[in-house]
Structure 1
Amino acid sequence: MAIRVSSDYSVLRYQKDLNELEYNKTKLMEQGDGSKLHRPSDNSVDYSRYLRYDVSEGENDRYQKSVKAGLSWMNSTQTALSGMEDIQKTFKAKTIQAANDDKAESSGDWPAIAREMMAGIQQIVSLGNTQLGDRYIFSGQADLKQPFAMTAPSNKVERGVAKTLDDRQAAFFNDASNQKSGDFLHQMLALKGDNGKEYYLNTLTGAVYSKEFVQEGYKDVIAKGRSTVNASDSIGSIPVGTPGTASSIIAQNFKNTGEVKTPGGAVGTVDGTTVRFATVKQQIATYNGDMRYISMVKQNGSTEPTADTVNKTGRDLFGRDLFDDENSGNTVSGTAMLNNMLTVYEQTNNSNPHWLSSDGVTLADAANQVTLQAHTETGARTRLYNDMTDILTNHKENITKDITDVSSTDVAELATKMMQQQTLMSMSLSMGARILPLSLVDYLR
């Protein structure tokens, strides 16, 4: 009885060993697909690392797609901005040409220059409506709306006229603008008296100055040793409300595009005469997008608007002026410089060389500076995203190497182990045939 129990035990133990050899062989066979990890039990530590690396790889892929989309958006933006800049440079040259043309309307180049100006403005509007796929790149987050539109020539409106100060005038009238004023502009509001004279209103202080003093008279004051304006230089004042609020004179009387809400109304009395807002009848450009930015995140962490935004809005393209800056009390129009260019066009069409030389050239230059600034910012952001592309590519390679190291099969090692298992299996079967007790079949042979 003892011998029979011992024999049964030997058989069971032998079968168990064979099963273990077969199991190990099967596990090795699984690695034939190139991966040594198929379940957590294969190697819990390596499997945990593999999961972390896999998550990192997924994040990296998403960031690479985001960066690629951002670069595509910014490249389209730069192409459009380059076109706008070229047109604005030509527009400025045409403004200078018109300012220097002192011939009569019938004999000068006014009509031809004006036509070229309008063609340039229309092309800028077209570039402002550039699409990437079905998305308008300058509409902010409302990118399914066409952002820019311009009224028809038959639908002109009365737009206020701003007196744009040059650098020397801005230094003297240093209280006419501040940090909240329009981009690259120092402006007063032009008024027209019933006596036929023109005046300029400081919309921050309410002081009113004669056209002659703002144009030339201040130079005499500087020559006498005073470098900035004082109260004695004004010829009167008009209440202007509180700058930056709905009570300001700009918000009360003008839309953010500069269109006068009630044309022809009296503003007040100055220099013994009633004054009204000076206006020019012109077409108006409007912006239908929003001022929100689109972020395409390129790395872990919270969204950084200063580093992740890839789009430009109407505010970035065309800045702000007297009618929609922070002092005005109006919302941003998104078309300030575009409407100023339309004013320059209208003054050219009306053969007004004096206004073009004193204001028009400055406005044309400011429009170009605003667009150039937007282009420069986009170019810098594009370089940042290009650098991030290289960083993410290198990071991807490192992650791939880590995944390979932790999960991939060592083919040479696998082949060696397979041969070992096969040898052990063959030896076990051969040995088992010799040492296991004979069965009834063996005796019947």
Structure 2
Amino acid sequence: MRVSTNMLSFNFMSSLNKSLERQNDLQEKLSDGKAIHRPSDDPVRAVRSLRFNIDLRENEQYTQHVKDSISWMETSDSAMSTLSSMTIKVKELAVNAVAPNPDLSYDAIAEELDGIINQMVEVGNTKIGDRYIFAGQDDKTKPFERRMVDFGPPIGKKDAVVYSGDSNAISMRVQPGVVTPAQDSVNVKGSELFGPVVTTTAGEKAPVCEMFNHLIQLKDELLCKNTSIEKRPIAQSNLESGKATLSGSYTPASDNPQISIKVTSVAGGVVTGVEYSLDGGTPVAASPAGAPPIININGVSVTIGDSPNNKVGDTYGFKPSQGTEPDLEWISNGAIAWNDADHNRLLGLQTELGARMSMYNQAESLLEGRYVTINDYLSANEDLNIPQAMVDFKTNESVYRTALSIGAKLMPPSLADFLN
């Protein structure tokens, strides 16, 4: 076969270009240490790399969610610890008030209690960034506001703390699958923190917090402001049973006995029979009438709300009027019992929050371990074997230089060589 000068030159240049392509490919890989730059380099490894990168981005997002959740719960836990300390202080003040020789006057105790209520409102409005942590999902709205609320006649306007948040849970996705807000929630709702939120049935119909109502009622009792019968505090043995409300006026007005009511029969959560006594005297049987059932005691109308927790043996106690001194018996038996119940509820919520925090801490550890594992897989799939690539690069460079040297000798001379 005749080999022409052109054929010899073409074959030489083709081989030289292939050597340059290999050298360029190795140089590109060595520049960033990656073995794959485009799918055509290795389709199978390219697909694996895409999957690993997607898993890595998901894992990073889940990790960020976990960190945000833990930060949210740590802030909530700190706020709840502060509230727990405040409830303990409230009990100390109440116990001091009923002591035979209190250290402070009733007015001074009430003033300190008023300050604690304001501090609790501030704690309830704790924020992370621009989000209120106890407002439910409506976390852009300030949840708690202390103001005068119109309860309608006959109570009229009364000091109260109004809740403006909602009762929805906030949950953050920390793993693939369906999110269960009831189980994975990171927030404590204001309605849980400060007791049930009760919407007033008259006046402006404002949602008010029961725990704040207890504290304000105790303060008013110390200041002798619970004068009207509708505002009189009622001590009840079963805090889960139906709430009792009062109306009317006791006859004769000059008397102010301690009235005790004991439930004797219940049907379907409705109180159907009671007995009452005045200052511990002989019990008198009475049958509530009407809807809701009302008990009439010397001009005082007592209504016990329907509740599935109503039980035979539940007791209610109150005095028709306050007079000029606080009702120390009610403070001992009612206000302190309310405070203990509120404190126990806070501790229960804090325990539940601690359990969820532990779960999220474990999730964080798992995600950090998974991050290392995915990175190892990705590195094994994408990273270049640097020592081997350096050897290949030097070998290819030597081959290229040798090819240039041999090519210069093998290429036949041309007319241009003789013209020089």
Whole-angstrom CA distance in 2 between matches of 1:91 and 1:131:
24
Letter in 2 for 1:37: I
Distance change in 2, residues 1:333/1:379 (3 Å) = farther
Match of 2:36, SS state, is coil
For residues 46-195 of structure 1, what are the structure 2 equivalents within 5 Å? 46-101=45-100, 109-151=105-147, 155=148
The answer as to 2:214 corresponding to 1:336 is no
| Residue 315 of structure 1: aligned partner | 191
Distance change in 2, residues 1:144/1:73 (3 Å) = same
Match of 1:143, SS state, is coil
8 A contact 1:130–1:136 mirrored in 2: yes
8 A contact 1:315–1:333 mirrored in 2: no
Give per-residue Cα distances to partners, 1:158-195, cap 9 Å, x unaligned.
xxxxxxxxxxxxxxxxxxxxxxxxxxxxxxxxxxxxxx
Letter in 1 for 2:46: Y
Letter in 2 for 1:33: D
Whole-angstrom CA distance in 1 between matches of 2:3 and 2:83:
100
For residues 284-299 of structure 1, what are the structure 2 equivalents within 5 Å? 284-299=160-175
Whole-angstrom CA distance in 2 between matches of 1:48 and 1:362:
66
8 A contact 2:194–2:211 mirrored in 1: yes
Number of equivalent positions: 314
Whole-angstrom CA distance in 2 between matches of 1:147 and 1:120:
18
8 A contact 1:74–1:378 mirrored in 2: yes
CA shift, 1:416, in A, is 0.5
CA shift, 1:27, in A, is 0.4
For residues 357-376 of structure 1, what are the structure 2 equivalents within 5 Å? 357-376=332-351
Compute the TM-score of the two structures, normalised by the length of structure 2. Answer: 0.68
8 A contact 1:129–1:148 mirrored in 2: yes
Whole-angstrom CA distance in 2 between matches of 1:375 and 1:66:
21
| Residue 169 of structure 1: aligned partner | none
The answer as to 2:398 corresponding to 1:423 is yes
Give per-residue Cα distances to partners, 1:204-249, cap 9 Å, x unaligned.
xxxxxxxxxxxxxxxxxxxxxxxxxxxxxxxxxxxxxxxxxxxxxx
Give per-residue Cα distances to partners, 1:86-140, cap 9 Å, x unaligned.
000111222233344599xxx9832222222222111111111112222211111
Letter in 1 for 2:19: L
Greater RCO structure (CA 8 Å; 6+ sep):
1
More helix by share: 1
| Residue 26 of structure 2: aligned partner | 28
Whole-angstrom CA distance in 1 between matches of 2:52 and 2:339:
55
Whole-angstrom CA distance in 2 between matches of 1:283 and 1:124:
15
The answer as to 2:178 corresponding to 1:302 is yes
Letter in 2 for 1:341: L
Letter in 2 for 1:375: Q
| Residue 263 of structure 2: aligned partner | none
For residues 9-28 of structure 1, what are the structure 2 equivalents within 5 Å? 9-28=7-26
CA shift, 1:431, in A, is 2.8
8 A contact 2:149–2:206 mirrored in 1: no
Whole-angstrom CA distance in 2 between matches of 1:100 and 1:156:
33
The answer as to 2:377 corresponding to 1:402 is yes
Letter in 2 for 1:46: R
Whole-angstrom CA distance in 1 between matches of 2:46 and 2:181:
37
- Residue 439 (structure 1) aligned to one of 407, 414, 418: 414
Whole-angstrom CA distance in 1 between matches of 2:27 and 2:352:
58
CA shift, 1:39, in A, is 0.8
CA shift, 1:282, in A, is 4.7
Distance change in 2, residues 1:410/1:108 (3 Å) = closer
Match of 1:289, SS state, is coil
Letter in 2 for 1:388: A
Give the ranges of 4+ consecutive aligned residues of structure 1 lying more than 6 Å apart after TM superposition. none
Unaligned runs of 5+ in 2: 225-325
Match of 1:3, SS state, is coil
Distance change in 2, residues 1:81/1:438 (3 Å) = same
Letter in 1 for 2:145: A
CA shift, 1:54, in A, is 1.0
CA RMSD of superposed structures (Å): 2.7
Letter in 1 for 2:39: P
Deviates more, 1:425-434 or 1:65-74: 425-434
Give per-residue Cα distances to partners, 1:318-349, cap 9 Å, x unaligned.
2228x569xxxxx9946122212222222233
CA shift, 1:415, in A, is 0.5
- Residue 283 (structure 1) aligned to one of 159, 166, 184: 159
8 A contact 1:140–1:293 mirrored in 2: yes
Match of 2:162, SS state, is strand
8 A contact 2:49–2:381 mirrored in 1: yes
Letter in 2 for 1:19: N
Whole-angstrom CA distance in 1 between matches of 2:33 and 2:104:
82
Letter in 2 for 1:52: R
Deviates more, 1:423-432 or 1:41-50: 423-432
Letter in 2 for 1:132: I
Letter in 2 for 1:68: K
Distance change in 2, residues 1:440/1:311 (3 Å) = same
Match of 1:149, SS state, is strand
More strand by share: 2
CA shift, 1:13, in A, is 2.5
Deviates more, 1:7-16 or 1:310-319: 7-16
Whole-angstrom CA distance in 1 between matches of 2:217 and 2:385:
75
Whole-angstrom CA distance in 2 between matches of 1:405 and 1:76:
41
